[in-house]
Amino acid sequence: MLIYSRDLVPGHTAAEAVEIARGVAQEGNVSGQFFLGYFLQNGKGVAVNEAEALEWLTKAADAGYIRAYPFLAEVYERGQVAPADPAKAGSLLWSALLAGDAVTLTRLTDQLGERPPEVIKFIQQNLRDAGAFNGRIDGLNGPGTVRAIQAYAQSLNKQG
């Protein structure tokens, strides 16, 4: 699905990837559910449809598919098709960080400034509770928060 969505296979398109994802998603395949939600959220091979993306990303996340967590968190950060819920977004990001998800690590480091302040506060508080952050719980995208996230993620990798 992914390589078709990026037009990396001659004769196969992103629209075809969406149809493959839809078929396996409807059969209960969590990877297909994630990819269908991702395609719908990002307009890959299909028009953007946040409401349907929410449905499929939620199914994948509820099944424990960690890759879906940061994308579902984004829905709850924006609050366009579901009420904004910074605590839910933060919880999804925190869980994915603990699981070692690389997309989440990028969203919490390089892209931390794109997170709402309440989500940053949630992450800061969890870092403090874990003994990995002693800065202020202020919701600001500061270098101390980023360093703490990076160090904590690295410590998790060493433990696993």
Q: What is the distance between the alpha carbons of residues 96 and 39, in angstroms, rounded to a whole number?
A: 20
* Structure letter (DSSP) for residue 67: G
**Closest by Cα among 133, 61, 46, 135 to 104:** 61
The predicted structure's pLDDT at residue 122: 98
Encode pLDDT of 116-139 as tens digits: 999 999 999 999 999 999 999 999
* Confidence class for position 11, pLDDT limits 50, 70, 90: confident
49-67: pLDDT as tens digits: 999 999 999 999 999 999 9
**Which tokens go with 1?**
């699905």
- Tell me how many degrees the CA angle 36-38-44 measures, rounded to the nearest 5: 85
Burial 132-144 (b: 16+ CB within 10 A, else e): bbeeeeebeebee
Q: Where are the domains of the chain?
A: 1-64, 66-160
Over 70: is that where the pLDDT of 9 sits?
A: no
- pLDDT for 66 equals 98
CA 1 to chain centroid, in Å, comes to: 19
pTM: 0.91
Using the Cα atoms of residue 67, residue 119, residue 145 and residue 126 in order, give the sign of their dihedral. Answer: negative
> Whole-angstrom Cα distance, residue 145 to residue 157?
18
The tens digit of pLDDT for each residue in 88-120 reads 999 999 999 999 999 999 999 999 999 999 999
Percent of the chain with pLDDT over 90: 89
CA dist 85 and 149 (Å) reads 21
Residue 141 gets the label, from left (phi > 0), alpha (psi -120 to 50) or beta, of: beta
